[in-house]
A and B are shown apart, each in its own frame.
Chain A
Amino acid sequence: MAKEVAILGVGMHPWGKWGKNFVEYGLKACNDALDDAGLAWKDIEVVAGAETVRNGYAGYVAGATFAEALGWSGARVSTSYAACASGAQAINNARAMILADMADVILVVGADTTPKGFLAPNAGERWTDPDWLRFRLMGCTNPTYFALYARRRMDLYGATEADFAAVKVKNARHGMANPNARYHKEFTQEQVLNSPMVADPLRLLEICATSDGAAAVIVSSMEYARKMNVDPIKIRAVSTVTPVYPQSTIEMPYFSTDSAAVVPAPMMEFKESIAHAAYEEAGLGPEDMSLAEVYDLSSALELDWCENVGLCKKGDAEKLLRDGETTLGGRIPVNPSGGLACFGEAVPAQALAQVCELTWQLRGQAGGRQVEGAKAGITANLGLFGHGSSVICSI
């Protein structure tokens, strides 16, 4: 079991398309997190930034960018990039420094400004980059992968388009009570099913948008928290595992899997292994969780994640959904924040936003989307090119 670190403060800039520089969003999240923690900027020893690759050099050196914007204080900085999992890597850097007694209190931040439409590779010809080649050789977009998984669920487990729509309806309802969500609009199943088909069987309202947004988390040693006289939410685990060869599930951005002809495929597929490592580290299991924040890049993908984080057996996620267990008030609410369905993705901020939500839920500060009596929660996410991301927090 890993040693615990404390969450002293969290803050977010609402998600949306605000047309501003990502630094402005990040600063708001940082200052909110400082206020939430009752700390001043000069108290922060390290800034751990999650990188954005869409905002030039300032984005590549996110840790330093935010340290400069807050006012150079001599704080150390680090910057992490792991695509959608960047925030988890940044938190893990902060945690490692605290557990190594290199620092007591660290500000973790991620922010992004995104273009409209499909996420596309950066410009230029790159004939050895699978992320570039998949678009060039076959027009393979991110929704392609979501749709391949969704179709597979229909064929293997009898999922229906109505199930996928029901996930969107649920998350849209959850997000109504979240002031940081981008979309505050309820949908009926019929409205979702009447939205345009993007990548069959997934429709426009079932595929997450790209958003601007920012999230910040202040972590400290347990001793530091005690000295501040607070009983903090604790980070029990941060899983940043990579796949085990041969990776035999088709994953973004690859257009082939590894071959399992010589070395047999591992017992656990990659997405399962991410949460498994987090549970092992926390000394907790799925049965201990009060809620889960999972990466619903598509409505159907939430069903995969429910199984991959162990909320039910493989093939049972539709039943869990239909029985209302993953809705607020159910046995294990999934994405009470509203999830990506209500946020859209702001890549470097997203894994941190999941941790902000766990913190508010576990403190009982989640207002109209509160999971009653929440004691522990898990986040799950996966970044392009083999980056696992899962954080477990508890009271």
Chain B
Amino acid sequence: MSESKIAPSIEGWYTCGESPHLIGTRCKRCSSYFFPKQEVFCRNPGCRSTEFDEIELSRKGKIWSYTEHFYAPPEPYIFSEPFEPYIIAAVELEEEKMIILGQMAQGVLSQDLTTGLEVELVVEKLYEQDGTDYTVWKWKPAEN
């Protein structure tokens, strides 16, 4: 059997490896954080900067809220039959003071989650297409 290839579902949004990070930007003038990357204009109304540094965002955060989905969403979501319920969590990053959504990693159960629970970023398969596993960032309860 040939090994399936692995590719990100979207380029340049996260790093891979043992300790993956989301990739954001930080305004060179006012230091505001942005995710997804803001590279053309600063959205802080008091800043007109057009220069940004690419940065890795904190890879740990706390659950702000979460929900488990029991129905298959419409396109362009791609999934393999049979449809499996999945959890989406809103995670608050302390340093960046922002909330970022993401699916919870496979195998995480809704009953094990609570608001305020510490989670960390992982990169995991989202769907498979034409022999390639496409990955995305997900959240997983942090290992202490």
Contact = CB atoms under 8 A, between A and B. Distances in A.
A140 B100 CA distance: 12
B110 interface: yes
A177 to B, nearest CB: 32
Contacts of B73: 118, 120, 135, 139-141
Interface SS of chain A: loop
A155 B65 contact: yes
A260 B30 CA distance: 12
Contacts of A245: 43-45
Contacts of A141: 69, 73-74
B71 to A, nearest CB: 6
Nearest to A204: B71
Nearest to B43: A245
Given A127-B10, A144-B67, A136 B45 contact: no
A117 B72 CA distance: 11
B95 to A, nearest CB: 7
A150 B85 CA distance: 19
Report which residue of B74, B75, B96 has the largest number of chain A beta carbons within 10 angstroms of its beta carbon: B74
Contacts of A120: 73-75
Contacts of B35: 256
Interface SS of chain B: loop
Contact of B33 (A144, A155, A261): A261
B101 A136 contact: no
Contacts of B68: 197, 199-200
Interface in B94-113: 95-103, 110
A368 B114 CA distance: 43
B74 A118 contact: yes
A273 to B, nearest CB: 15
B16 to A, nearest CB: 16
Given A118-B71, A139-B77, A260-B97, 4 more contacts: A127-B10, A137-B9, A137-B136, A262-B30
14 contacts: A127-B10, A138-B103, A138-B126, A139-B69, A139-B103, A144-B101, A148-B88, A150-B67, A152-B65, A200-B69, A259-B32, A262-B31, A262-B32, A263-B46
**Closest A-B pairs by Cβ, 3 of them:** A147-B67, A120-B74, A259-B33
Interface of A: 117-118, 120-121, 123, 125, 127, 130, 132-141, 143-144, 147-152, 155, 196-202, 245-246, 248, 250, 255-263, 265
